[in-house]
Amino acid sequence: MSETIVRALKCRECGQEYAIEPTHVCEFCFGPLEVVYDYDKLQGKFTRELIESRRQNMWRYKELLPIDGEPSVGAQNGFTPLVRAKNLEKVLGVSELYIKNDSVCYPTLSFKDRVVSVALSKAVEFGFTTVACASTGNLAGSVAANAAAAGLESYVFIPHDLEQGKVLGAGIFGTKIIGIQGKYDDVNRLCSEVAGKYGWAFVNVNVRPFYAEGSKSLGYEVMEQLGWKAPKHIVVPMASGSLCTKVDKSIKEFIKLGLIEDAGTAVYGAQATGCSPISKSVKDGTDMIHPVHADTIAKSLAIGNPADGFYANRVIRDSGGFAEDISDAEVIAAMKLLAETEGIFAETAGGVTLGCAMKMIESGKLPRDESIVLCITGNGLKTQEAVVDAIEKPRIIAASLKEFDLLAAADGVLNKD
C-alpha cells in the first residue's frame, strides 16, 4: 500500500497533538487521545472497486486503520455476515431490519477480534513482545488467541466472577489469566497502574487509541454490505461507549471519502438497566455521566464508569439517536427471541441490543418504516449461565420407537401411517 495517512494522536479534549507512540492520555488535560488522519491523501485513490478487489476481511479497509504496512496479527479477522432479519421484522412490525452478526467473528466469536488485530499489529510495530488487557471476557479471549497465533506473550486481567465460557475461552490459549477480586472497574483501575509499571502493550490502556480504531471496520462492513450505503438507524451496545463513537466515525469517514451518500444515520445506544450510566444521561438530557456500581447479567457491558460515555452521549444526541436500557429478564427474553426467529445465539449484550431496540420501536424513537441495523457483538455460547434456566431441557426417552411414538402423539405430530 502507499504511504500511511495516519497523521498523529490528538487529544479529544484540548486538541494537543502527539507523535505516534504507545500512549493514550493527554499529558496536559488527561483527555483521551485519538488517531487522526490526512484524508486528503486518499482522495480518488480509495475506491469501492479497490476495496471490492481485496479479500473479505477487515483489512480490506486497511488505509483507514492505523498501522504501517500489512497487519502482522489477525490478518483474517472480520467480515462477518449482515443478515436481513425477515422473521424478526414480522415480530417487531418493522420494514427493514438487519443483524450485523459479530457473534461469528474470527477467531474468538466477538467483535473484539477487530480491535485486537489492530492493537497487536501496532504493538508488534512498536516492538512489544508481551501484550495485556483489562477485560470483561471477550477481549481476554481475543487477546489470548491472537497473541498465541502471533507468538506473543500475554497477560489478561478479568473480574474473578466471569462466565465460565469467557474464562475458558481465554485460558485455553495458554495466556496468563489473572482474576481480580472486584468488578471490571476495579480491574480497569489496577491495569491502568500495572500498565504504567510494566513494559507491556496493554491493548485498552497504552495502545488504546489504535485498538479503538479497529471498531470502525464493523461500520465499514455494514455500509459495504448494504450496497454502499449507510443505514438510517444503527443500534449499538454500550459498555465504555467506544463502539458507538467508532461506528459514527466510520460513517463520517466513508461520507468524507465519497464512498457513500450521507443518509443522516442516527446512532442508538443500548445498556442493561443494572449498569446504565450512559443511557441514563441521554434520557435525562444531560452530558454528565454519573458512575454507578454495576449489577447486571450482561457482564460484558458492566462498566460503571464508562471512559467514552461522554463522547457516546454526544454522538447519540448529535446524530438524532437515543439510548435505552432494559432489565435482565428482558435481556434473556430478547436473547431467546433472536435465537428463535433468526437462528442467531447472541451473548447477553446481544439481548441488550435487541431488547433496547424493541423498547425504542415501541416508544416511537426508532421508526418502523426505515432501515435499522442491530450490532450483535458476541456469542451466546460464552454466556450460557444467563439462559440455562430459561430454555427447554431435552426430554429423555429410551432408544425405543414406541416411546417416541408416545411423545410424538403427545406433541400432536402426525406420522405417515
Partner 1 sequence: MSVQVRIPTPLRKLTGGADEVTIEGATIGALIDNLEAAHPGLKERLCDDAGEIRRFVNVYVNDEDVRFLSGRETALNAGDEVSIVPAIAGGL
Binding mask 374-403 for partner 1 (x = CB under 8 A): ---xx-------------------------
Q: How far apart are CA 380 and CA 280, in angstroms?
A: 26
How many amino acids of this chain bind partner 1 (CB under 8 A)? 57
* DSSP H/E element including 102: none
81 binds partner 1 (CB under 8 A): no
Of positions 222, 267, 307, 373, contacts partner 1 by CB under 8 A: 307
Residue 301 within binding range of partner 1, rule CB under 8 A:
yes
Q: List Cα–Cα distances, 55 to 59, 60, 75, 136, 181, in angstroms.
A: 8, 6, 10, 31, 43
Tell me the residue length of the chain.
Answer: 417
Q: Which helix (H) or strand (E) holds 266?
A: strand 266-272
Confirm or reject binding of residue 13 to partner 1 (CB under 8 A): yes
**DSSP labels, 356-389:** HHHHHHHTTSS-TTS-EEEEE-BBGGGGGGGTTT
What would you report as the CA-atom Rg of the chain, rounded to the nearest whole angstrom?
22
From the list 82, 134, 266, 297, which residue makes contact with partner 1 (rule: CB under 8 A)? 134
Greatest Cα pair distance, the chain, in angstroms, is 81
Is residue 148 within the footprint of partner 1 (CB under 8 A)? Answer: no
Nearest to 35 by CA among 13, 19, 47: 19
User: Is residue 293 involved in binding partner 1 (CB under 8 A)?
Assistant: yes
Pairing of strands 153-159, 82-84: unpaired
Q: How far is the CB of 28 from partner 1 (least distance, A)?
A: 7
Q: Does 69 bind partner 1 (CB under 8 A)?
A: no
Residues of 36-52 as b/e, b for ≥16 C-beta within 10 angstroms? bbeeeebeeebeeeebe
Beta partners for residue 237, in sequence order: 270
Residues in region 108-127 near partner 1 by CB under 8 A:
110-112
CB of 144 to partner 1, least distance (A): 15
Q: Report the nearest approach of partner 1 to the CB of residue 61 (Å).
A: 20
Shortest distance, CB of residue 300 to partner 1, whole angstroms? Answer: 5
Between 260 and 349, CB nearer to partner 1 = 349
Residues 399 and 126 sit within 8 Å (Cβ to Cβ): no
Nearest partner of 217 among 58, 354, 380, judged by Cα = 58
**26-34, 249-257, 366-374, 383-391 -> range binding partner 1 (CB under 8 A):** 26-34
Is residue 217 part of the contact set for partner 1 (CB under 8 A)?
A: no
Q: Residue 345, interface with partner 1 (CB under 8 A)?
A: no
Choice from 5, 9, 20, 32 touching partner 1 (CB under 8 A): 32
Q: Nearer to partner 1 by C-beta: 110 or 276?
A: 110
In the complex, what is the shortest distance from the CB of residue 197 to partner 1, in angstroms, rounded to a whole number?
Answer: 8
Contact pick of 8, 16, 31, 263 for partner 1 (by CB under 8 A): 31
Q: How far is the CB of 16 from partner 1 (least distance, A)?
A: 12
By CB under 8 A, tell whether 208 contacts partner 1: yes
DSSP SS3 for 180: strand
By beta-carbon proximity to partner 1, the closer residue of 312 and 366 is: 312
Tell me: does residue 152 bind partner 1 (CB under 8 A). no
Nearest to 124 by CA among 179, 67, 82: 67
Q: Judged by CB under 8 A, does residue 151 bind partner 1?
A: no
Report the site for partner 1 in 308-327 (rule: CB under 8 A). 308, 310
Does 281 help bind partner 1 (rule: CB under 8 A)? no
Closest CA to 138 of 279, 346, 324, 329: 346
* Those residues with Cβ within 8 angstroms of residue 114's Cβ, 6 or more apart along the chain or in another chain: 58, 77, 78, 102, 105, 214, 215, 217, 218
CB of 79 closer than 8 Å to CB of 161: no
Does 271 help bind partner 1 (rule: CB under 8 A)?
no
**Residues interacting with partner 1, by CB under 8 A?**
13, 23-32, 110-112, 133-136, 138-139, 182, 184-186, 188-189, 191-193, 195-197, 204-205, 208, 212, 237, 239-243, 290-291, 293, 300-303, 305-308, 310, 349, 377-378
